[in-house]
Amino acid sequence: MNAFAPRCPTPHASDGPLAIEAVDLVRIYHTHTGVIRRRPLDVEAVRGVSFNVRPGELLGPNGAGKTTTIKMLITLLLPTSGSARVMGYDVVRDTTDVRRRIGYVFGGDRGLYDRVSGLDNLRYFAELYGVDPAQRDRRIAALLELVGLTGRENEKVEGFSRGMRQRLHIARGLLHDPQVIFMDEPSIGLDPIGARELRQTVKTLVEAGKTVLLTTHYMFEADALCDRIAVINDGRIVASGTGDDLKQAVLNRTIVEIETFGVAPEAVDRLRDDPEVIAVNTEERDQSQILLVQSERGPEITQRLLGTLGDTRIGKVVAREPTLEDAYVHLIASTTRSDGAERAAALG
Amino acid sequence: MSLARSVRLIWWVTWFNVRMLLVSEFFVLLTFVSPLIFATLAFFLFRLGHSTGGQTLLYAALGSGMMGVWSTTLFGCGGAIAWQRWEGTLELLVNAPTRYDFILAGQAFGAVIFGFAGILMTIAWGMLLFGMPLTSTFPLLLPLSLFAAVVSLGALGMLIATSFVLYRHANALSNMLEYPIWLVAGLLVPIATLPAWVQPISWLLAPTWGMDAIRGATLQSQPPWFAIGMCFALAVVYYFLARVALRYVLHLARRDATLDLR
Amino acid sequence: MSAVTAPIALPSVNADPGSLRTAWRVFWRGGLMSYGMLFNWARPAIYIPTLIGGPTFQLLFFAALGSYAAGRSPAYFALGNAVQVSALSGIFGMTMAIANERFFSTLPAILATPANRVALFTGRFLPFIANGLFVSLYAIAFGVVFLGVRFEAPTLGVAGLALLVTVFSCTAIGALQGAISLRLRDGLFGANLLMLSFLLFSGVNIPVATLPAWMQVISNLLPFTHGLEAVRQAAAGAGLDRVGGLIAIEAGIGVAYAVAAFALFSYLERSARANATLDVR
């Protein structure tokens, strides 16, 4: 029995079996610290991750533990506990059934046969995926055009740039027309045009009814592409929902960006002490620091903030709506803080 | 640089390289295990031919030990510069304030000295398993013979290091040159049994005279003065050729900016 | 690089990784393709010194040493070594292939596919068996021309069969060696050790019957020994009736090593999934 999503022009959640279902996935790495006296160390990379993805959806987890989660879903890693199903097949027991229905794009410099051409790489993996030989070359040609490698496919991969390798990875992940596609930071290594083409590709895939699980650090990409977003921090999902849902947390806020030159830490602390300031994050630039002040007040708070900063040299000041990036920063900061508080409390 | 300092430097680099080789599984196999297997082979072969005397055993032990010395020198030096290139240290070493050929000398001698430990193994092997008696016809000359052999092989090693790097696949060359040198240098098979046209090639090789010098001090009735002399003479020639090759290599590298070739 | 245009329609494909036909393709085509991908010595500049030059000198060395030390005809040693050099491909080739998979990090990529594992694994043998045969045939030809090796014409086919089985068997132990080297770091050590062992134990230079009893035990467990004896006898005119048994034993040894290698691979794959040693990048 196969789970199928009807091909729909706009992505929407459909009824029927889930494309991806993860229940309390846990992955603990056993490793060692120290060189002389090796002490065993258990690293909990994933601490109970649960989520569902319906066919035709796009989900974008961010943060620590995402690669490990994906590796469990593509059957390369066994969960320490918990379970997951892809298209209804268990990732631990039904590995062959899972593998024939999924494609994955991990990118990076490795994972390709350097000594032969891009075309040979694709042909080889097409054999491994059992692609019908009569249709194989047409599919490969279309994929090459899709990723922009037409004309370069006969060159040896060892001469490929990082971006070209990334494109080849993407082509490979789509060879056998998988129903579910996992992409781990696929736009890294791509130039802006390539990244834009990739986003277009992803849109096309979703419109064709595929399910795409995508991880990215680029918030705007997640916001633009994904139906739903999950944020993973420290091995746990700290928030999930649509982009708008996530922005809710910071929706009523104003972000005031203040460019300063050599701001003193005490001045930043004074800002934090202001009762109507929720958080202050600092971004270091070459010569300046950008203070991101979150407040539930409107832009009128700007005057007061500048006053608090005293004779700090100020550059540009912008008061704006929160973006998904701000929501993300807030989520990470708040969940890390609470974790830390828990740990501190536990240590007594 | 003063002579004392130069010697100290070469000494230090040599022992550094010996230590590096000690932790390489490949070289441990090459230098210690491989000669033992060839020694066993030689022992059995001579036994098949009904030569089982102590002299034959010693001959075989020395010959197979020397085969190991050659292998270690070949692989240790042939890939030396390519290895540095691969590791990215070639550029650093060449631009270091000390002279690069000192470093090269240290590498070559490190390999050679390490290789000579293999002879100790084959001798111990012969004594333990085949009852080989340890005799020497000119025991006082033996250290000199060994020294001459080391110097000669070390210089040849330097030449190997500087010339192999010009061939892109130095390891392939090293793979090919074990057997022919073992044969032509007369390590186990006397040169006299080889075709006449091969013999001039034998005379140009350090292993030939090094083996001759060592055999002369242990097995032969005449002291091996000529062999010892040839060792030193060849060493000078090799060293000169090595420096020429090195100058060429460095020139090429600077011209093509290929010191950092990967 | 194309500008951002209308999305490209991808032609749909059927994929049936579980079918027998696909398994055959993985075995045959996939296997042959893996040669160029994974064999370090494929370039002529490396191939000729290592797989032609080296074996030639090896034959000359042992022919000279054997005839000098043991008083036997050089042909005996030439034939023995001519068969042994096929191990260069079988053992080093397989070890290299596996080491390269690790170096290129393609092992996870392959393991993430639904391809039939047996087909994938055994397909890798093919190019190295072919290569080993080629190297041996060259060396035998050299021995025939220069060192007095003789084959009786009627039993040429039998000798060929014995050679083929021997090369397969040695490739199988190469696969096992390669699998072991996945866990230990250096594959070269085991590969070189095996090559040297054949020289001593397998009747390449020393008749097995003249070896001490404990060494003969090792001889009989290693590939080569029975197959080489079959080749020698067939070269001297023995027919299938006489050497069939030896060939069968050699084949059995090869299959045993192949099965052991496959079992080890499967175990390593499972263990890698559990212990996260399959790095995707």
| CATH code of the domain in which A189 resides | 3.40.50.300
Closest-CA distance, C60 to chain B, in angstroms, reads: 8
The pLDDT of residue C212: 92
Is there a contact between A125 and C12 if contact means CB atoms under 8 Å apart? no
Chains C and B: 3 or more CB pairs within 8 Å of each other: yes
Q: Enumerate residues 6+ apart whose C-beta is below 8 A from B222.
A: B216
Same structural domain, A291 and A197? no
Question: Which whole number is the average pLDDT over B69-95?
Answer: 78
CB atoms closer than 10 angstroms to residue C37? 22
Contacts of C46 in chain B (CB under 8 A): 169, 172
Question: Which among B26, B33, B41 has the least Cβ separation from residue C205?
Answer: B41
* Percent of all residues in chain A with a pLDDT value above 90, rounded to a whole number: 8
The pLDDT of residue B93: 72
Looking at residue B100, its amino acid is Y
Closest-CA distance, C4 to chain A, in angstroms, reads: 6
Closest-CA distance, A133 to chain C, in angstroms, reads: 9
Tell which wins on pLDDT, A11 or C150. C150
Is A224 part of the contact surface with chain C (CB cutoff 8 Å)?
no
Same structural domain, A342 and A264? yes
Is A298 part of any domain? Answer: yes
Nearest CA in chain C to B180: C57
Question: Which whole number is the average pLDDT over B233-239?
Answer: 95
Is A331 part of any domain? Answer: yes
Is B156 part of any domain? Answer: yes
DSSP, res C276: T
Specify the range with the lowest mean pLDDT, choosing from B134-138, B207-211, C163-167.
Answer: B134-138
**Residues in chain B, total:** 262
In chain B, the number of structural domains is 1
Question: Which whole number is the average pLDDT over C229-234?
Answer: 95
Same structural domain, A165 and A311? no
Is there a contact between A76 and C3 if contact means CB atoms under 8 Å apart? no
Looking at residue A120, its amino acid is D
Same structural domain, A220 and A252? no
In chain A, the number of structural domains is 2
Same structural domain, A125 and A240? yes
Dig out the tokens for A3 from the structure. 């789970």
Is A141 part of any domain? Answer: yes
Tell which wins on pLDDT, B262 or A240. A240
CB atoms closer than 10 angstroms to residue A120? 18
Distance CA A271, CA A35 (A): 44
The number of CA neighbours under 13 Å toward the Cβ of A239 is 25
Contacts of C41 in chain B (CB under 8 A): 172
Question: Which among A107, A130, A175 has the least Cβ separation from residue C22?
Answer: A130
User: The dihedral of CA C189, C192, C195, C201: what is its sign?
Assistant: negative
Is B193 part of any domain? Answer: yes
DSSP B155-188: HHHHHHHHHHTTSTTHHHHHHHSHHHHHHHTTSS
Same structural domain, A212 and A303? no
Taking alpha carbons only, the member of B176, B186, B178, B189 closest to residue B209 is: B186
The pLDDT of residue B15: 84
Is there a contact between B41 and C189 if contact means CB atoms under 8 Å apart? no
User: What pLDDT band is residue B1 in, cutting at 50, 70 and 90?
Assistant: low
Dig out the tokens for B15 from the structure. 């022992």
Is A269 part of any domain? Answer: yes
H-helix or E-strand spanning residue A24: strand A20-33
Taking alpha carbons only, the member of C194, C168, C169, C167 closest to residue C181 is: C194
Is B261 part of any domain? Answer: no
Residue finishing a domain among A244, A261, A284: A244
H-helix or E-strand spanning residue C63: helix C54-70
> Which domain covers residue A252, as residue numbers?
248-347
Is A89 part of any domain? Answer: no
Is A10 part of any domain? Answer: no
Same structural domain, A145 and A278? no
Residue finishing a domain among A218, A244, A270: A244
Is A64 part of any domain? Answer: yes
Same structural domain, A178 and A111? yes
> Which domain covers residue B108, as residue numbers?
3-256
DSSP C88-103: IIIIIIHHHHHHHHHH
Tell which wins on pLDDT, A324 or B178. B178
Contacts of B176 in chain C (CB under 8 A): 49-50, 53-54, 57
For chain C, the residues whose C-beta falls within 8 A of a C-beta of chain B are 41, 43, 45-46, 49-50, 53-54, 57-58, 60-61, 64-66, 68-72, 186, 188-189, 192-193, 196-197, 199-200, 205-206, 210-211
The pLDDT of residue C189: 84
Same structural domain, A101 and A203? yes
Specify the range with the lowest mean pLDDT, choosing from A22-36, A87-101, C90-104, C200-214.
Answer: A22-36
CB atoms closer than 10 angstroms to residue B256? 9
Most confident of A112-126, A309-323, C99-113: A112-126
Is B121 part of any domain? Answer: yes
Closest-CA distance, C202 to chain B, in angstroms, reads: 12
Question: Which whole number is the average pLDDT over C149-178?
Answer: 93
Quick check: B62 pLDDT over 70? yes
Is A208 part of any domain? Answer: yes
Question: Which among A129, A146, A203 has the least Cβ separation from residue C15?
Answer: A129
The pLDDT of residue A64: 65
pLDDT tens-digit readout, C27-77: 888 888 888 888 777 778 888 888 999 999 999 999 999 999 998 999 999
Same structural domain, A235 and A145? yes
Same structural domain, A210 and A107? yes
Same structural domain, A193 and A283? no
Dig out the tokens for C237 from the structure. 């005119």
The pLDDT of residue B177: 93
The pLDDT of residue A46: 66
Contacts of C13 in chain A (CB under 8 A): 131-132, 135-136, 139, 175-177
What CATH number is associated with residue A338? 3.30.70.260
Question: In this predicted complex, what is the ipTM?
Answer: 0.89
* Percent of all residues in chain C with a pLDDT value above 70, rounded to a whole number: 94
Tell which wins on pLDDT, B167 or C141. C141
Is B262 part of any domain? Answer: no
The pLDDT of residue A87: 84
Residue finishing a domain among A199, A219, A244: A244
DSSP C109-176: HHHTS---HHHHHHHHHHHHHHHHHHHHHHHHHHHHHHS-----GGGHHHHHHHHHHHHHHHHHHHHH
CB A219 within 8 A of CB A324: yes
